[in-house]
Amino acid sequence: MKLLSALVAAAICCLASHGAYATDVKLSGSAFYRERIALPSDATLLVEFIDLAKPETALAATAVAPAGQVPIAFGLVVDSSKLSNGEAYAIQARIEVGGSAWFASAEPTPVDLARAGELFSILLVQAGSKNAEEASGVSLAGTEWRVLELDGKSADPNVTSTLIFDADGAVSGNGGCNAFRGNVDMEGTTMKFGQLASTMMACEDAKSVQEAVFHAALSQTAAYFVQDGNLMLVDAAGKTVARLGAP
């Protein structure tokens, strides 16, 4: 009996020394950003629980899709077998659209497991370190992007509207009848077209209508992302105003 008690005591001591937790840890909270940019309907919030000594490997993760608008609530369960006493843990998050990171944690948020029941608030900042074309592996420059949809409606198959990005920040294209040139400012996932200079040719009605809608979409563009090889232009409310494809 004394031997059995000694073995049990040794086992408990061993578990304590390895920091084993008796139950899984539940974390919850919300993620938000301060920029006045609405998210598209297909945005996804990804939250990861990490060991700060090995941040490249998530010990637990969850996805909220569709994310909706900020603040975005989340819940995360961490397997107790992956936890040890004396380790430093944290949570980090990012919002992705079409595989591109729009917002991400400025830095990991520390997690005190003794206070895991408290709500966490994660501040996100624009993911400017990698823009949408870098994240997708698709280069915008040098490609003649052709308009496929405008304001949710298919483009006229008999009218060709195009957009070309140069490496120096210049843009050019054709609205459907008239050629245009100008500049675009891009940082992270944001995109803002400057004043566009256009030729003044008279066009038939179908071309004039599509050209006007296309130029309106460019003037409304506040951000972009690349999805399935298509260039998606969205306005400040998160609405897709144009979808363009590469030939």
Q: What ranges do the domains of the chain cover? A: 25-130, 143-245
Give residue 118's pLDDT. Answer: 86
Is the per-residue pLDDT at 6 higher than 70? Answer: no
Give residue 137's pLDDT. Answer: 56
**Residue of 242 and 23 predicted with greater confidence:** 242
Q: In whole angstroms, give the CA distance from residue 185 to residue 231.
A: 16
Structure confidence by residue, pLDDT tens digits, 192-244:
999 999 999 999 999 999 999 999 999 999 888 887 788 989 887 778 899 99
Give residue 134's pLDDT. Answer: 59
Q: In whole angstroms, give the CA distance from residue 214 to residue 223.
A: 16
Structure confidence by residue, pLDDT tens digits, 131-183:
556 555 567 888 999 999 999 999 999 999 999 999 889 999 999 999 999 99
Which amino acid is it at 121? S
Contact (CB, 8 A) for 74 and 29: yes
Which of 8-17, 53-62, 165-174 has the weakest average pLDDT?
8-17
Burial of 239 (0-12, 13-18, 19+ CB in 10 A): middle
CA dist list (Å): 73 to 29, 40, 93, 233: 6, 17, 12, 27
Task: Give, in words, the CATH class of 143-245.
Answer: mainly beta
Give residue 115's pLDDT. Answer: 82
Structure confidence by residue, pLDDT tens digits, 61-103:
999 998 889 999 999 999 999 998 888 999 999 999 988 888 9
**Ramachandran sector of residue 152 (left: φ over 0; alpha: ψ -120 to 50; beta: rest):** left
Q: Thinking of the domain 25-130, which architecture would CATH place it in? A: Sandwich (2.60)
Q: Which two tokens stand for residue 136?
A: 């997708």
Is the per-residue pLDDT at 5 higher than 80? Answer: no
Q: pLDDT band at residue 121, thresholds of 50, 70 and 90?
A: confident
